[in-house]
Chain A
């Protein structure tokens, strides 16, 4: 490693930090309003277009939602100003750990290891959703 290379790398690091600070200051992320049942249903339908979507449960903070499709749980949750979607067997929801105002669920996926769900007062985990109609 030459001094010039180290200097270039250091300058690049500084440039990255300045650009990230500028991007954060500009507040130009997409608006990501809290999900309600209707918007969650639309989002889930877009992510799982071949599934019949039954009842939908929305987390207390509107940052995540779960729909039941027969014996599957269709999950969406916010990451930054976007959303991540995964499906699991419905019975796997019971493996989620609820503690205080939050439930954490391991998704068993390297690309998205766990999802968190804000629980409202008196909310139970897993969500109690009746089985949906067939596909």
Chain B
């Protein structure tokens, strides 16, 4: 993407900043309370009272969207944090230690990668029966860490052979210190880039799960709103349009930012 879309990275940063702000101060911004419903005004189109209309229960769509931002951000950031922690830990062990440990960890990642997209998350949430925020984050993290582990392993393998690692070994440092203090800081560029795209992916995955009725229950969520919207789109298209726009702008913003970060932090993987 590099030179082609240079101007878009700052736009992405602004969008991401706004989304984070809405997630943090959402309840103060929302025009109505989270549980405020007016059964006499279900599925209304946008109006002065309800800028983005109302949903099937008569709740304000704008309020639901604003509060849903928090869920999206929590799922996106927590999922990627868990994946990063597990992925970086196992990936660096795999790359640095090698041998059968590497073999085992890599085979496990291959098995997890055999479940495309949200398939394993669907299965896990189905069996846990009551999907909570935690269950959704756990289910998405279950497969998500494998990509980071493979990336970190690859980077560590490259770094391991370099002179500075040799020097650190000669100074008598242990493997834990060499990995955390010397190797990891040098491999973080591509990992951060991947993590940025990962947040976008996790937000989309949460929305998909919610759309399928497998998202966190009892929480306003973009995907769940869209699920409603899809059932009533003949009657009230607004209910399907706005949550989708919120998801798209957020994900697009994160992707723009990710492309910008890639240029800054990971010049090697730039498109030719």
Our verdict on whether A and B bind, yes or no, reads: no
A residues with a Cβ closer than 8 A to B are none
